[in-house]
Amino acid sequence: MSELSQIISTLPSLRLTVDAHGLMAKKALGQNFLLDSNITDKIIRSSLDAQNKKSFSDDHVYEIGPGPGGLTRSILKANPQKLTVIEMDERCINIMEEIRDKTGNVLEIINDDALRFDFTQQEKYPKQIVSNLPYNISVPLLTGWLKNIKEYSALTLMFQKEVADRITAQLRTKDYGRISILAQLQCKITRLFDLNPECFVPAPKIWSTVLLFEPQPNPLTLTQIKKLESLTTQAFAQRRKMIRQSLKSISDLEQKCATVGISLTSRPEEISPQQFLELSAQI
């Protein structure tokens, strides 16, 4: 057992911590707490196994919205080079400070909105994000990280299952869309496992899913992404229409589509991420 693991084992239980701080989850902050250490340990173990790693000893890990610190404790037990938690809720900041009092400077606490935080300006040694994301901002956060995916060695993120289904959706399915295309072009995505609503306090009405994102060898540039987003926004705004209608404003559409093997009678959900990328490069 590592020194950090020993320290974590001396902390009060999560339920005692929640009670001591009167920490009722706030719906406005998208909070649903994981208080079962078996589950938070499983998230970390599954992620590390999928990455063929034994610990986070080479990584600076970031956690968004740590809440009462269940996942925080499990990350610390995996011996990170450093763990930075980003939290808006002052009640949770107090809990993080109690953990830091025990663990020392390996834990950095930032009281801020993760949507405003500039991850790209941080240290250059390998960065990972591990988080049970606030459900109400999960897609905007993911989109921001995907645009700068070269900054990270991996992202281990929990979403509402329906959002995870959209991210991992395949061609010709109802869930396939803009976030599927961007995520799959930027990352290899591994579905680690699903979680029953009863795992959370309070229990949400939906299942959750943990996904691992590992950057593709040659991720897209910001310029490529801007063109891709413009094209997919136009196409999926009328997703039931053939692209000869939804993309009719593009000059020489038939010739450009033919170049990448797309029929004008195709609907957006029938066009692969790679085809969308190649078509956007011509526009």
Each residue's pLDDT expressed in tens, for the chain with a length of 283 residues: 678 889 898 888 888 887 888 776 555 545 577 888 999 999 999 999 999 999 999 999 999 999 899 999 999 999 999 999 999 888 889 999 999 999 999 999 999 999 999 887 766 678 999 999 888 899 999 999 999 999 999 999 999 999 999 999 999 999 999 999 999 999 999 999 999 988 877 777 889 999 999 999 999 999 999 999 999 999 999 999 999 999 999 999 999 999 999 999 999 999 999 999 999 999 8
Q: Is the peptide bond before 215 cis (omega within 30 degrees of 0)?
A: no
pLDDT of residue 134: 84
Q: For the chain, where do the domains classified as CATH 1.10.8.100 start and end?
A: 222-280
Q: For the chain, where do the domains classified as CATH 3.40.50.150 start and end?
A: 3-215
**Spatial distance between the Cα atoms of 244 and 267, rounded to a whole number of angstroms:** 9
pLDDT of residue 26: 55
- Rounded to 5 degrees, what angle do the CA atoms 201, 202, 206 make? 105
pLDDT of residue 19: 81
pLDDT of residue 197: 87
pLDDT of residue 212: 98
**Spatial distance between the Cα atoms of 263 and 243, rounded to a whole number of angstroms:** 8
User: Given CA atoms 188, 193, 199, 205 in this order, what sign does their dihedral have?
Assistant: positive
pLDDT of residue 27: 53
Topology of domain 3-215, CATH: Rossmann fold (3.40.50)
User: 222-280 maps to which CATH number?
Assistant: 1.10.8.100
Query: Token pair of 235, please?
Result: 């196409």
